[in-house]
């Protein structure tokens, strides 16, 4: 009963926290919080406590493939939002993300999948989409946004655990990392606030997925030899150090010139 309660409550509570912060700090910060391991982290913790370090490590490798899906979706949506309507942008981005997910699932090397993910992250952050043909920002749909995010996150964690039980840890990890929240939020912002705001959300998610990728790789590598507590501590350390490394790699993203210029 305690495990079930944790499954139902933990992810929605995290989403509530990040949604309140995102509303105050803007879409880019909101995207960074969505791209953080707010779904994959609870899922892997539950996998570890329920099935042990081995299945949790395999689930973490599945989450790496899911992260490739997330960044391909974010890159495609940010590029297409200025020229397509929200529904068509969503469909095109989902098609690109599905292709990336299939490629990642068929790839036998988690390191190759991670390398492709890094390449997509930096391709998305190093360039900026042009133009915004959407309307000016409004406050529409604010009443249902946070409850919807909380419900979707709970269903994601429960569905991922059920998939892991039925089809294996790897596929459960892929499902846990799918960009469901990003798709819902991106489309809603595209409709209500315009393409540039939706693109900002996607760029924020691309930025934070670099840390999420480090988090997942450390967990997948360290869970079995070190055990859950040291592995999660190392993964959290990797998550926190990835953010300043991305800032140093792409200073123009934050409006500052590179050193020596």
Identify the segments of the chain with pLDDT beneath 70: 1-8, 10-11, 14-15, 17-19, 21-22, 127-146, 149, 153, 156-161, 163-165, 246-261
pLDDT tens per residue across span 53-87: 888 888 888 889 889 999 999 899 988 888 888 88
pLDDT of residue 101: 81
pLDDT of residue 255: 46
pLDDT tens per residue across span 25-42: 777 777 877 788 877 888
Half-sphere exposure of 35 (CA within 13 A, CB side): 35
In this structure, the number of other CB atoms found within 10 A of the CB of residue 137 comes to 13
Q: Which residues contact 176 (CB under 8 A, 6 or more apart)?
A: 39, 40, 43, 44, 59, 62, 63, 66, 156, 157, 160
In this structure, the number of other CB atoms found within 10 A of the CB of residue 147 comes to 13
Residue 169: Cβ-neighbour burial (10 angstroms; 0-12, 13-18, 19+):
buried
In angstroms, the CA 170 to CA 175 distance is 9
The H or E element spanning position 111 is helix 110-126
Provide the residue ranges of all domains of the chain, joining segments of one domain with +.
2-130+142-249
pLDDT of residue 72: 92
Q: Which residues contact 38 (CB under 8 A, 6 or more apart)?
A: 11, 14, 15, 18, 153
In angstroms, the CA 37 to CA 176 distance is 10
CB 173 within 8 A of CB 163: no
Q: Which residues contact 107 (CB under 8 A, 6 or more apart)?
A: 65, 113
CB 192 within 8 A of CB 140: yes
pLDDT of residue 8: 59
Residue of 253, 254, 219 whose CA lies nearest to 236: 219
């Amino acid at each position: 009963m305690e495990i079930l309660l944790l499954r139902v409550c933990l992810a929605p509570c995290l989403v509530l926290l990040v949604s309140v912060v995102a509303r105050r700090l803007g879409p880019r910060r909101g995207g960074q919080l969505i791209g953080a391991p707010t779904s994959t982290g609870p899922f892997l913790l539950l996998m570890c406590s329920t099935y042990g370090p081995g299945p949790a490590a395999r689930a973490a490798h599945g989450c790496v493939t899911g992260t490739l899906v997330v960044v391909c979706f974010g890159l495609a949506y940010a590029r297409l939002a200025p020229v397509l309507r929200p529904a068509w942008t969503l469909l095109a981005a989902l098609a690109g993300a599905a292709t990336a997910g299939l490629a990642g699932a068929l790839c036998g090397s988690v390191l190759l999948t991670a390398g492709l993910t890094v390449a997509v992250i930096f391709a998305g952050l190093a360039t900026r989409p042009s133009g915004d043909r959407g309307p000016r920002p409004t406050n529409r749909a604010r009443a249902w946004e946070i409850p919807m995010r909380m419900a979707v996150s709970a269903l994601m964690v429960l569905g991922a655990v059920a998939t892991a039980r039925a089809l294996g840890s790897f596929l459960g990890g892929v499902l846990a990392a799918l960009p469901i929240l990003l798709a819902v939020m991106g489309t809603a912002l595209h409709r209500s606030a315009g393409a540039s705001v939706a693109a900002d959300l996607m760029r924020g998610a691309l930025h934070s997925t670099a840390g999420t990728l480090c988090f997942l790789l450390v967990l997948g590598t360290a869970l079995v030899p070190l055990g859950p507590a040291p592995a999660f501590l190392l993964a959290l350390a990797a998550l926190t150090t990835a953010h300043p490394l991305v800032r140093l790699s792409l200073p123009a993203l934050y409006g500052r010139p590179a050193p020596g210029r």
